[in-house]
Amino acid sequence: MRRLWNLAAPVALGAASAGPAVAGTLEWAGTLRLDFWFHSIATVGTGVATVDSSGDVLRTLRLAGGLTGTTTIPLTDPDTLPTVVTLIASHRLGTGTLGPFSAGGPLTQSVLPVPGTNRLCLFFPGTGCNFWSAIPLTGKPPVWPPGLPSPAGVGIGGKITVGFSTGPGLTVSLYGAPWTLGAASVTSVRTPNGVIGTVTAAGFAHGPASATATAHRVGGVIQIVTPTLVVANVDPPLDRTALMGVLRLRFVPEPSALLLLGAGAASLAALARARFRA
């Protein structure tokens, strides 16, 4: 039994050293989801977050990419051929700092852009997306106010408007908002059944023991949300729609820590088998 404990001790020490990181960088696995009223687009990936913490209390995270995706969504019945309107949504996670997380509510550092482009395509059989209009998720406002030299859009805030030459002066405007750890909503939008309603979502931060301040520990989960109102001068139900961004991160052990734990567990198993045979 003493030999077994002597071998288990370094493994336990390895588990402790591989536990909560309070400074430096943390690896994460996550999902970036864009919820339209008619469809949800999800992208899965991994990345590294730069952590600012005080003791064992998470203050801010700086993210720089790690999630990129493209999804094609048919908006009309295929039986309407020869033409079908389709949405090709491309997006990625930008770079930004988020926090503080210890309060569990709105974030004072809350700008994390989600660049990308939604292309409304008019498909013809055998030709692909030859005719399309692009709606950017982020971009420069139509008129930059003095002292505001930064873009607006999803995950940032502010308003961007895009106009198209096709149609009777078609315009689409996105009213964005920063990310929040609390509740977010988009009001006065048309729901899938055509009535005016509200779309809501909520963020959270849970550590291994459900403590908000220690969500950066291995096994901790952070979810933040960003609401966007999309207004277009078209007939219902696409005249007022919601686009809700949801980012969920789960912090994972570093590869070196996993190797250490795995080697220790294998050694314990081998010793246990040897003792059992003896």
pLDDT recorded at residue 259: 37
DSSP 168: T
Report whether the peptide linkage leading into residue 253 is cis, meaning its omega lies within 30 degrees of zero.
no
CA distance 49 to 60: 10
At 174 the three-state DSSP class reads strand
Angle, CA of 26, 28 and 29, to the nearest 5°: 170
pLDDT in tens, 54-68: 767 888 999 998 899
Alpha-carbon separation of residue 91 from 11, 66, 216, 231, 278 (angstroms): 42, 11, 26, 20, 60
**Count, residues in the chain:** 278
Note the pLDDT of residue 98.
Answer: 93
In this structure, are residues 63 and 112 in contact, taking their beta carbons and an 8 Å threshold?
Answer: yes
Domain boundaries, the chain: 22-250
In the DSSP assignment, the letter for residue 112 is: -
Least confident of 21-25, 91-95, 176-180: 21-25
The pLDDT of residue 118: 84
pLDDT at residue 117 above 60? Answer: yes
Q: What is the pLDDT of residue 44?
A: 93
Task: Look at residue 10 and tell me whether its pLDDT is greater than 50.
Answer: no
Sign of CA dihedral 188, 140, 201, 230: positive
Tell me what pLDDT residue 85 has: 67
Residue 186, pLDDT score: 93
Give the global pTM: 0.76
Which amino acid is located at 29 in the chain? A
For residue 123, the model assigns a pLDDT of 55
pLDDT in tens, 174-226: 999 999 998 999 998 887 677 888 999 999 988 876 667 778 888 889 999 99
pLDDT tens for each residue of 227-265: 999 988 877 777 888 999 999 999 998 654 433 334 444
Please report which confidence band the pLDDT of residue 4 belongs to, taking 50, 70 and 90 as the band edges.
Answer: very low
Structure confidence at residue 193 (pLDDT): 72
CA dihedral 32, 36, 40, 42 (to 10 degrees): -20
The per-residue pLDDT for 65 is: 85
pLDDT at 192: 66
Under the banding of pLDDT at 50, 70 and 90, the label for residue 18 is very low
Q: Give 3-64 as a DSSP string.
A: HHHHHHHHHHHHHHHTS---SEEEEEEEEEEEEESS-EEEEEEEEEEEEEEETTEEEEEEEE
Of the two residues 129 and 177, the one the predictor is more confident about is 177
Position 209 scores a pLDDT of 67
What confidence score (pLDDT) does residue 271 get? 42
- With 80 as the cut, is the pLDDT of residue 156 above it? yes
Angle ∠(217,220,250) on CA atoms, nearest 5: 115
Q: Tell me, what's the pLDDT at 122? A: 63
Structure tokens at 213: 């301040």
